[in-house]
Structure 1
Amino acid sequence: MTDHPDSQARNSSVRVALVRHGETDWNVEGRLQGSSDIPLNDIGRSQARTAAAALADDSWDTLVSSPLSRASETADIIGHVIGLTRSAGHEDLMERRFGRAEGMTGYEAWAYWPDGDYPGAESHEALAERGRRRLDLLADENPGRSLIAVAHGGIIRAVLRSITGHPAPRIANAGVSIVVRDDEGWSVRTVNSIPVRRSRRLR
């Protein structure tokens, strides 16, 4: 017996939970972390456990992360709670590189470059391009599956904007945003664990 086309479409849909890493000391100090490998603090580890408890209410097949330690440790904490081993660390999921502003507070960076054009920084367009590329690859490689990808606030916002066409809100530490790809393209289901009533679909 052949499955109905609608059933095949549902079976091939992919759901991805985009999770921001837990808090770091640089988050508390308001510093631009970017590609700097700053570890979680104790509050960040607690936030990761809270996110894990929420994710444990559902079923997940695959767990990946950015290779930076604040993301990979958040993923490992989540994996320990839900019974998944992190399978990969993807450089495409790393935070935006802030160039010479990296390590500065937002105010310090503004004092030098009030237009936000930091020397050596990665462009917002390049950030969105690599984030969306990785999201598409994850979906292509995991049809019909549910994934957790632990990354960073900037790249998650860039990915969400690439889907909806609208700016995304600030992503909270350990915030969970759900996106789905089905036969109609990508859609955003939740941002920071808050349901989205409407979402523009982009293929």
Structure 2
Amino acid sequence: MTNRFLFAGAALLALSVTSSASAAVGVAPPAMYPANTWQGRTQAVIRVLDRLDAHIETLTIPVGANASYRTLSVAVEACVSRPETLPADSGALLHLRDSGDSARPPFDGWMLQNEPSLGTYGSSLYDVRVVACTGDRVAPDAGPLPVIKAPQLAGTTATEDEGGTDQSGSSSSSEGGAVPLAPDSHAPIPLAPPSGGAQSLVPPAPPASAGPSLPPPAADPGLE
């Protein structure tokens, strides 16, 4: 297991540093969109559950249009989803109206696929959830992925041999000597303290304080 970790560390070191004649160049991290990036879509997939008969209806509604399921009217104003480099999630700006329940206030707000509790209709008859955003890409547009350059490792040098990577297993120190990347596997490991004696697990007793000696107690005259 130890040899496996050593081989994995050597492989990561070889991949993270590219040898050159003057300076070492690191490997650029993968390009990713910022966490607050959303991509607009032209359609919203909405799931409606009727609590009376447990019937589920899936509606695919274009953005800017509306659809009806029994007494519920669903209008979609916008639908956005996460780009491919971020965790999958979708959100829709919905307008819900129930013509059969005049006392129920309408819902106008966002609903998220992975966080349905943040926006709920609150109806005792219908449960509305966002399934996904599909269709063509529209505004807001995530745009192309940002270009990330490989970092320049200042103050380091690397030699290139026949294999194209540094096989010496050491890096140059500030004094010009070679610094090993791992301890010598052939060096003996000391199992006892340098003195050769067994190490005690009991702490030594504190030294006795040198205080003034007390005189002996005087004899009681009543006991003579």
TM range (shorter): under 0.3
Bigger Rg, which one: 2
- Give the structure with the higher percent strand: 2
TM-score by length of 1: 0.20
**Going by fraction, where is helix more abundant, 1 or 2?**
1
TM-score scaled by length of structure 2: 0.19
